[in-house]
């Protein structure tokens, strides 16, 4: 199996007398991991611009791993509720919003426009894939 070109290289340090300052100086600006003897885990050195991305990914993984999974019907019902809330808030149907969004007819809008687009696309996909209807899942 080939090595993943996006993987962080791991350097196995043999001696423990290397200081953190020496490692930072030597590998400044690079993304590299260090496996240190008698350390359970790996120390990763990142360029500053990568730090927020990596911490966001770690936080997202933690948040997602603790959520109980939903059945497709539960997720569809939640999606329908969110779409109804957005339709009431913005005074148009999701189908009309999506048509305008696809045609670039909407000006830069509120932050929830992106969520609305993603939820409506999920709604259409689930209707097609699972044959769900809004009335069937109203009580889910």
Residue 1 lies in a domain: no
Domain count, the chain: 2
Stretch 9-19: mean pLDDT, rounded?
73
For 36-42, the CB contacts below 8 A with 24+ separation are 37/13, 42/10
> Which residue has better confidence, 83 or 136?
83
| pLDDT at residue number 85 | 94
For residue 138, give the nearest of 82, 79, 76, 77 by alpha carbon: 77
Give all strands (DSSP E) within 46-99, no chain letters: none
| pLDDT at residue number 29 | 77
Residue 36 lies in a domain: yes
49 shares a domain with 27:
yes
DSSP structure class, residue 42? -
Residue range(s) defining the domain that contains residue 60: 10-66
For residue 23, give the nearest of 6, 2, 39, 3 by alpha carbon: 39
Give the tens place of pLDDT for each residue, 19-75.
777 877 887 777 777 777 767 767 777 777 677 767 777 776 666 656 667 888 888
| pLDDT at residue number 112 | 80
Q: Whole-model pTM? A: 0.50
Rounded distance, CA 58 to CA 55, Å?
5
Residue 3 lies in a domain: no
116 shares a domain with 77:
yes
> Which residue has better confidence, 110 or 122?
122
Residue 137 lies in a domain: no
Are 63 and 52 in contact by the 8 Å Cβ rule? The answer is no
Residue 138 lies in a domain: no
122 shares a domain with 100:
yes
Task: Give the whole-number percent of the chain exceeding pLDDT 90.
Answer: 17
- At residue 83, does pLDDT exceed 90? yes
Residue 121 lies in a domain: yes
Q: Which of 21, 38, 66 is the last residue of a domain?
A: 66
- At residue 95, does pLDDT exceed 90? yes
Residue 140 lies in a domain: no
């Amino acid at each position: 199996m080939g090595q993943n070109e996006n993987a962080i290289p791991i350097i196995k340090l043999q001696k423990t007398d290397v200081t953190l300052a020496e490692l930072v100086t030597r590998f400044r600006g690079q993304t590299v991991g260090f496996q240190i003897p008698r350390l359970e885990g790996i120390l990763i050195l990142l360029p500053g611009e990568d730090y927020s991305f990596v911490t966001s990914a770690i936080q997202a993984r933690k948040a997602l791993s603790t959520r109980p999974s939903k059945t497709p019907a539960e997720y569809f019902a939640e999606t329908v509720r969110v779409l109804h809330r957005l339709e009431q808030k913005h005074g148009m149907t999701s189908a009309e919003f999506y048509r305008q969004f696809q045609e670039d007819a909407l000006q830069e809008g509120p932050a929830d426009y992106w969520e609305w687009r993603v939820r409506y696309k999920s709604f259409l996909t689930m209707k097609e894939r699972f044959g769900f209807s809004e009335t069937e899942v109203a009580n889910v």
